[in-house]
Structure 1
């Protein structure tokens, strides 16, 4: 049976030389998470700037895509990054500093936050380009050539808009990127607050619960603004919000126990701690001539009160 990902004879981590050093570094640090984060970041920018969306055919008479194109958005991309990325980041840093949290807690909290943002952005853009759903303001973006038939299926070739981004972005309606990003950032902050204040434990006062859930209201307002600007419809916004919140929960739970746990305010032990415990156990077993057994770690912290 494996011990913390190693075989009973120690595996690569028990070897000497540079191979063993690299294997031990890989197992007892968060290097795999950072490698994955960099790959996600590279994949996101590739999808964002190098891949064009699938262009669905459309009718000029379709009233669902005849809304005006808003030149000035209520929440532009830059402000969305500030609201859902910058403000939660500063809030997390201040909270961790005020509570004098350990370096490990600060590390995994911020790492989980950034992974939540980039993972949501990447998945959203992949779906956007694959689905190619027209935005509610597609006709205004397209500027169809005069004489184009109203009741016949047409494609992008009838469009006269010369701005590449404005035109092609018209087929990136589903899901809402603003919504998924907002809930991945502010949703992560809400989960963090819920854990720190034990919101889901018995006898928690309503004030703490409202404070912990307040970031979700901000995320919801950002999502609603996309309908007000006619960039998305309710379906796009709802799916984007669910996607962002699901990714925030996924990223949070990779480093923190369930919110009903008595230890929900503290992250799981560091990988170095688990590695050293497991490796020490393996060494002791070898020295005494006993066969090493698998150590089970309670990663859920599901103790009952």
Structure 2
């Protein structure tokens, strides 16, 4: 290892921005590895607490490395093929995620079977299911300032994290990020779902439908599905107050989705369930992330509503917001 490289590594471990800049000026390689860890990996490893990723000094060193040519698409850990965007997305470190996406981080790299979006969704689901107070579950949350303590209050930490995950999810989706299962195609067996936000508008339990099934539908129907998916205005992506969302007719889109599902039904293997999930004008107005679900009844040849968006919300959800420790980041 050259002197400049040793100087860069030491400066990263010490979190010295001036030291990093001095080493880079001497020609240190931003994409070199030490002990199977990249320079970006050592920088990610230099912080131990969630709030330290928010520090201007940490972000400034990250930007200095990127400006000098650090490749965000190289593994930060060679042994496990871990990527920086995955590490940042796990707890939605928004400023750092936005920064490396601006430097062409690929949101669809796969690490241990997960894309960055899948990694984010795992923690999002865990926090919402296990830690989030009932009033906040299934609700669009505002952006909060970082807590002043070290996130020791579990409920406060969960509210803050879920708020960030909602924004991190939208950020990755806007950058073209997919769930890991959206990168796969598989047979249609137990369930086929219609949801206009997923790639192609159709999904099974574990993947998108395989090419052979899509070909069996014929070009007219597959083009109709693509049009239905492409025209959809996703409030989680665009914002629940976005004019495009306010102007969109979700009931008409559901009706079209049901007509598409009815046209698909004869092509399904026997005993395959068919369902459609979408928000409603009422759920969007209430700023709920929950969905209505309808299932196709093959015997009656009709759609039946199986889940109302309100079903899984507790009575607390409809009451006043509880007093909390978090402050809004912006005046809202």
Q: TM-score, normalised by structure 2?
A: 0.26
By relative contact order (CA 8 Å, sep 6+), the higher-ranking structure is 1
* Larger helix proportion of the pair: 1
* Larger strand proportion of the pair: 2
Q: TM-score, normalised by structure 1?
A: 0.27
